Amino acid sequence: MTSSLAPLVDQFQRRITYLRLSVTDRCDLRCSYCMPERMTFLPRKDVLSLEELHKLALGFIDRGITKIRLTGGEPLVRRDMMELVRALGRKIGSGLEELTLTTNGTRLNEFAEDLFAAGVRRINVSLDTLDRAKFAQLARRDSLPQVLEGLAAAKAAGLRVKLNTVALKGINEGEIADLVAWAHAQGFEATLIEVMPLGDVEEDRIDHYLPLIAVQDDLERRWTLAASDHRSGGPARYFDVKETGGRLGLITPLTNNFCEGCNRIRVTATGQLFACLGGSEQVDLRAALRSQDPQAALAEGLDTAMKIKPARHNFAIDSRGQAPALARHMSMTGG
Output the known binding site for S-adenosyl-L-methionine. Answer: 33, 73, 126, 196
Cα-to-chain-centroid distance, residue 214: 23
Q: How far is residue 14's CA from residue 7's CA, in Å, rounded to a whole number?
A: 11
Local structure of residue 322 (DSSP, 8 states):
P
Amino acid at site 204: D
Binding-site members for GTP are: 20, 69, 102, 162, 264-266
Phi, psi (degrees; rounded to nearest 5) at 317? -130, 95
Residue 52 is which amino acid? E
CB-count exposure of residue 261 (10 Å: 0-12, 13-18, 19+): exposed
| Alpha-carbon gap, residue 58 to 95, rounded angstroms | 9
Distance CA(270)–CA(273), nearest Å, equals 9
If DSSP codes are grouped into helix, strand and coil, which group holds residue 8? coil
Q: Which residues are annotated as a binding site for [4Fe-4S] cluster?
A: 27, 31, 34, 259, 262, 276
Specify the DSSP class assigned to residue 23. Answer: S
Q: List binding-site positions.
A: 20, 27, 31, 33-34, 69, 73, 102, 126, 162, 196, 259, 262, 264-266, 276
Q: CA 25 to CA 41: how far, in whole Å?
A: 7
Q: Are strands 98-103 and 189-194 parallel, antiparallel or unpaired?
A: unpaired
Q: Which residues pair with 209 in a beta bridge?
A: 168
Question: Coil, strand, or helix at residue 273?
Answer: strand
